[in-house]
Structure 1
Amino acid sequence: MGDAETDGPAAVEPDAPQAQRPQAPSRRPRSAWLVSVLAAVLIAGGLAAVWLLRPPMTEASAPPPSPTRSATAAPRPTPTPTPTPTGFAANTAAYDVAALPQVNVFAVVPGLPVDDAAFTTPLPEQAVALGSGAPIWADPTAQPVAYLPHEFAYDGTAVPVVEEQEHWVRVLLTGRQAVPSQGNPAQVTGWLRKGDVQLAPSDASVVVSISARTIDIVRAGVAERIATDFGWGQDGTPTPLGRSFIMTTRVVPEYGYTRGYPIVYLSVQSPTLDGFGGADAAVVAFHYHDARSGPISNGCLRVDPTAITKLSELPLGTPVIVNP
């Protein structure tokens, strides 16, 4: 047969060999698949075994929990409380003390109040006026009625404190509200501004008992008995009861009955005598006397040499309380 061209599509020649069809991919044997599955199971089981067989985690080895940030507000600063003023309000006004009556042993000042707590022990403190003197009030909400001098010839300027406030102190004073024939001559008191005085501790007091016939000097609550018998005022001229203080201590040679021992004068005066011995005052005192037992005096307290010596050693302003 030659190389002649044909007019149509070439016809299949029956005697030529047929072309091979592509083969489908071969399937994996079932046994191999089972092996893979078993291997995976064994690996997973091994991991589980490792997890189950690991040592338990103790509290110390446990990882700390992550801190949780709280929304707590910052603490507010505690405000400092403002102290509440106690007692009478402060008074900073200026006063001319020279225009006020002076409080001294001879003074009679109707505006001064009489002591209203006669048997109450004063505070362990005394006051002395600064400058030339300190104004005195009967009522701190009103105007001053007198002044306490810084110095006076017969003393009486160191005065015991009987009440203390933030701005004020109330003190015992010399002088009288009235003479006995015209009113109440008992122990007087007054208010002083703290800024006008110097305060100092007072560590002693004198306690007298007329009924027990005893006199004690008390220091820090400890009593020293200095007399077990003494003289006091007669019925017509009684010794004033209640609290007062040592005004001045001095030797008066003219009074022969004292035998040269000191006289310890008190701030309080006779409840029945306007004056005594020609003076415009009738001051009660401790002093020595040969006759010194029972109600025999004009109001003074008559003691022996030992007692008057100890009393004369006490500082001015020392409180004295005379009990019935």
Structure 2
Amino acid sequence: MSFSSASDRKKSESAVAARGSGFRFPQRGLHVLAAVALLASGACGAPQAHPSAPNSGVVEVAPKTVDADAFGRLPVADTFGAVPDAPLDAEVRSTNGIVLHPHRELPVFDGPGGRPVARIPVMQIGSPTWLPVVARHDKWAKVLLPARPNGAAGWVFLAPSDAAVARSAFEVHVETESFQLFVTENGKEIGRWTVGVGKPVTPTPKGRTFIMASLQDARQTFSPLILPLGAHSNTYASFGGGPGTVALHGWPDPSPFGTPSSDGCIRVPDDALSLLSTLPLGTLVLIH
């Protein structure tokens, strides 16, 4: 999908598209949480790196110091970038909905106390960065990254002022073989639609990703709103001048629904897009 150029990395919060002057969570199903307290205590069932191990007695692992020069050389974990040294997330399963927003650029490590591999920006193509937390270890959170390769993840260390943490009640599930998309709220299905997915030669990438941004692009006529995901085409290194980002979006007529017809994006009916547009950024998307 084509939607923007790399210059959008520099957009400020005043450029947030389709969500007014700042990011809004829908009121239903949202719980804003204290970052360090959440990760340290396991509140709201926060995912753990080793769920069977008790938190008591865990020795805190401090992050390695990253000086300004080294930090500036780290690859940016956004949809235009690549983080070749990032650990890969191989899971395609639900989390508890914890999402994280950095208050400033943060270093990303390959493990608790490990090597720095990237830096997370505060914004993603005009929308605030919200990343799903998929595992935790003491004050460390493992998050999905919106950069290549698909499945890129990394660990961030959270000091009290580093990030906002919240819990979304929603998940999006896409079943490519049956062309079904459904949304759940607290595990209960609240909507299901027949959708269009990638063609056999340009398949929709499977795995665990998330709603990265929300934008309107005047150059596009096929959808009033585009919801880029934290995933990329495995066929195209770039597409239409963009980085090959996969997205949820509408279509002017129903002909693609129930067919493998796209270049990798997921084409959805208008009422599906209407619901999807209300979901929090960072909402988990599971593509099977």
Q: SS state of the match for residue 175, structure 1?
A: coil
Q: 1:113 to 1:155 in 2, by over 3 A?
A: farther
Per the alignment, residue 121 of structure 2 pairs with 149
Q: 2:226 aligns with which of 241, 247, 263?
A: 263
Aligned residue for 2:74?
100
**Map of 1:233 onto structure 2:** 198
**Separation in 2 of the partners of 1:283 and 1:252?**
14
Find the aligned partners of 1:141 and 1:94 in 2 and give their Cα distance.
12
Residue 310 of structure 1: aligned partner: 275
SS at match of 2:248: strand
Query: Displacement of 1:145 after TM fit?
Result: 1.4
Structure 1 pair 224–99 and aligned structure 2 pair: CA distance change class (3 A): same
Distance 1:234 1:201 in 2: 34
Correspondences of 1:80-229 after superposition (within 5 Å) = 83-85=56-58, 89-91=61-63, 93=65, 95-96=67-68, 97-117=71-91, 119-130=92-103, 132-155=104-127, 157-176=129-148, 185-195=149-159, 196-227=162-193, 229=194
Q: CA deviation at 1:269?
A: 0.4
Query: Scaled by the length of structure 1, what TM-score is found?
Result: 0.66
In 1, distance between residues paired with 2:64 and 2:197? 45
2:272 alignment partner, SS class:
helix
The match for 2:246 among 264, 280, 284 is: 284
Matches within 5 A, 1:56-71: none
1:292 touches 1:304 (CA, 8 Å); kept in 2?
no
CA contact (8 A) 2:122 2:128 kept: no
| Stretch deviating more after TM superposition (304-313 or 144-153) | 144-153
- 1:123-149 C-alpha deviation (Å, 9 max, x unpaired): 32011113x311101133332111111
Equivalent of 1:273, from 210, 228, 236? 236
Distance 1:138 1:156, change over 3 A: farther
Q: Which runs of 5+ in 1 are unaligned?
A: 1-81, 177-184
Q: Which runs of 4+ in 1 moved over 4 A?
A: none
CA distance in 1 between partners of 2:79 and 2:189 (Å): 29
Q: Give unpaired runs (5+ residues) of structure 2.
A: 1-54
Task: Evaluate the alpha carbon distance shift between residue 243 and residue 253 of structure 1 in structure 2; reply closer, same or farther with a 3 A threshold.
Answer: same
- The number of equivalent residue pairs is 227
Partner of 1:252: 217
* Paired AA for residue 108 in structure 1: A
How big is the shift at 1:203? Answer: 1.5
Determine the C-alpha separation between the residues in 2 that align with 1:94 and 1:188. Answer: 21
- Cα deviation 1:164-209 (Å, max 9, x = unaligned): 1212110001111xxxxxxxx3221000002233221121111112
**Aligned-partner Cα distance in 2 for 1:158–1:95:** 25
In the alignment, residue 129 of structure 1 is paired with which amino acid?
Answer: P
Report the 3-state secondary structure (helix = DSSP H, G, I; strand = E; otherwise coil) of the residue aligned with 2:123.
Answer: coil
Q: For residues 162 and 310 of structure 1, what CA distance do their matches in structure 2 show?
A: 24
Alpha-carbon distance between aligned partners in 1 of 2:113 and 2:261, rounded to the nearest angstrom? 45
- Cα displacement (A) at 1:155: 3.4
Shift in Å, 1:99: 4.1
Aligned-pair distance for 1:94? 5.7
1:312, 1:236 → 2: CA distance? 29
1:301 counterpart (258, 266, 275):
266
Q: Which amino acid aligns with 2:167?
A: P
Deviation at 1:311, TM superposition (A): 0.7
Contact (CA 8 Å) 1:105, 1:156: kept in 2 or not? no
Following superposition, the deviation at residue 84 of structure 1 comes to: 0.6
What per-residue deviation string (whole Å, max 9, x for no partner) do you get for residues 4-45 of structure 1? xxxxxxxxxxxxxxxxxxxxxxxxxxxxxxxxxxxxxxxxxx
CA shift for structure 1 position 92: 6.9
Structure 1 partner of 2:39: none
SS at match of 2:231: strand
Distance 1:151 1:264, change over 3 A: closer
For 1:165, the aligned partner's letter is H
Higher relative contact order (CA 8 A, sep 6+): 2
